[in-house]
Structure 1
Amino acid sequence: MTQKTIYLIRHGETDYNRRGVVQGSGVDSDLNDMGRAQAMAFFQAYQHVPFDKIYISGLKRTYQTAELFIELGIPYEKLTGLNEISWGVMEGKVPGNLDNEYYRTLIEAWSSGNTALPTDGGESPEEVATRQRAAIDVIVSHPDEQTVLVAMHGRAMRILLCWLTNQPLAQMDQFEHSNLCLYKLRYDYDTAAFTIEVANDTSHLLSLALA
């Protein structure tokens, strides 16, 4: 039985995360000091894993999150299909009261099944899932890469985990995430099925809380 193990992580913290500013795919922000510390903590916890390949989104916060592994000489590839959802006109803004109402209405619409509804000037969850499928096709097309690291983004991870586990996109908010959390997945080539073995694990960040 041929299997692939996927270590799926969300990028480390950025100043936009800390300030509650909307990032999305249109804001190419850097990790802040905490984000870099999170990346180091994850590296220290998982540098022993024999990753065959690293996949990152087209945004530099995912490159910076995986950079310590890349510096070991592990090959990496950018797949823009892994980018965060486009939040359209909301990107780069600190949500005010009216904006919060917009998000609440949007998330409620998605949760009720209207996942074809796009953000204002941006993407719908279904559009994100379509481009993600192309990216995942690339990743699973290399069975020789038995263990891979994939760095991406929060809302995009929720969408990805939903369809990978054959659940309606309306259920995406069940997949919790925080900066530099880990989801460990296994892909079975015989059944073409993904299973989640570890969910939203942040135990590697405990040392930061104690520092």
Structure 2
Amino acid sequence: MSLFPPLEGTVARRRLYLLRHGHVAYYDADGKPLNPKLAALTDRGREEARTAGALLAAVPLDRVLCSGLARTRQTAELVAAPHGLPVEDDSDFLEIRAGRLSEVPKERREAAYVYGFDAAAEDGRFAGGDGFAAVRDRVVSAVEALVRQPDWTHLALVAHDGVNRMLLSWACGAGLSSLSAFEQDYGCINIIDIDVTADRVVRRLIRAVNLTPGNPAKIGLHRSSLEEAFGPLLALD
């Protein structure tokens, strides 16, 4: 017997809507990096979040979570608004952190930052910062704890580029080597169905990946998320 109302027509299935926050400005007007912990949604980002919220308005969401950083909370609030739900913070879904720019030689910045997920491995670190395996273990433990909780059938989680890639890799069993393949545009939605039986995850089904409600054909989206986020670093001294 399931501890939660399962999706219609299933025995023990629930649905996770995994979103990336909307667009933010990571650099000031002079091209200098801003503190990513303080980054807030731009006008474009708020529109992306509203569009995602409109798409999910017909979904009977039970809970809405975010990592707690401003850009995820602002996105989550716009998703939660049509449902009258509070937004819960869970810091286990915070983004993987790169190392200090000053500690990475200029000639290595492109490989370390812009294409850093290409080198994801059990013993690797993202641009000299957080270890890939440690962050993977943190976010997977958090989502597995979440899917064992009995109080939801449909849940929206607003997180980050790297975190979402790790959860999609977990869902398909591909491991860290698949991180670079799971592109995550600003304001995107991923859908994962999860079967939980006897307090154990027995099946994971990916229904959608990197769905951008306001631009489903990806018109103009030619750069990867890391190319957009870290490309400007290449010009800095």
- TM-score scaled by length of structure 1: 0.82
The residue number in structure 2 matching 1:27 is 37
3-state secondary structure, aligned to 1:15: coil
Report the AA paired with residue 77 of structure 1: E
The residue number in structure 2 matching 1:128 is 135
Could you tell me which runs of 5 or more consecutive residues in structure 1 were left unpaired when the two chains were aligned: none
**Which of 26, 36, 49 is the equivalent residue of 2:46?**
36
| CA positional deviation for 1:15 | 1.0
3-state secondary structure, aligned to 1:63: helix
Q: Which consecutive segments of 4 or more residues in structure 1 shift more than 6 A?
A: 17-24
Question: Are 2:187 and 1:180 equivalent residues in the alignment?
Answer: yes
CA 1:52 to 1:90, structure 2 compared with 1: closer, same or farther past 3 Å? Answer: farther
Aligned mates of 1:139, 1:45 — CA distance in 2: 23
Contact residue 4 and residue 143 of structure 1 kept, 8 A: no
The residue number in structure 2 matching 1:80 is 91
3-state secondary structure, aligned to 1:118: coil
Question: Are 2:169 and 1:159 equivalent residues in the alignment?
Answer: no
| CA positional deviation for 1:32 | 0.5
Aligned positions of 1:141-152 closer than 5 A = 141-152=148-159
Report the AA paired with residue 79 of structure 1: D
**Which of 135, 147, 152 is the equivalent residue of 1:140?**
147
Aligned mates of 1:153, 1:23 — CA distance in 2: 17
| CA positional deviation for 1:143 | 3.3
| CA positional deviation for 1:86 | 0.9
Aligned mates of 1:138, 1:12 — CA distance in 2: 26
Q: Which digits, 9 at most, give the CA deviation of each residue in 1:27-69, with x for residues without a partner?
A: 3310011000111111222212110001110211111001123
The residue number in structure 1 matching 2:55 is 45
| CA positional deviation for 1:146 | 0.1
Aligned mates of 1:105, 1:177 — CA distance in 2: 14
| CA positional deviation for 1:100 | 1.4
| CA positional deviation for 1:186 | 0.2
Report the AA paired with residue 49 of structure 1: V
| CA positional deviation for 1:106 | 4.3
Aligned mates of 1:196, 1:87 — CA distance in 2: 28
The residue number in structure 1 matching 2:67 is 57
Q: Which digits, 9 at most, give the CA deviation of each residue in 1:73-123, with x for residues without a partner?
A: 3133211111110112149xxx9654214336744432xxx3321235521
29-38 or 184-193, larger mean C-alpha shift: 184-193
**Which of 191, 195, 202 is the equivalent residue of 2:205?**
195
Q: Which has the larger radius of gyration?
A: 2
Aligned mates of 1:60, 1:189 — CA distance in 2: 31
CA 1:202 to 1:23, structure 2 compared with 1: closer, same or farther past 3 Å? Answer: farther
Corresponding pairs, count: 202
CA 1:22 to 1:182, structure 2 compared with 1: closer, same or farther past 3 Å? Answer: farther
Could you tell me which runs of 5 or more consecutive residues in structure 2 were left unpaired when the two chains were aligned: 1-10, 220-237
| CA positional deviation for 1:18 | 10
Contact residue 52 and residue 189 of structure 2 kept, 8 A: no
Report the AA paired with residue 46 of structure 1: L
Structure of greater relative contact order (alpha carbons < 8 Å, 6+ residues apart): 1
Contact residue 2 and residue 143 of structure 1 kept, 8 A: no
Aligned mates of 1:197, 1:157 — CA distance in 2: 14
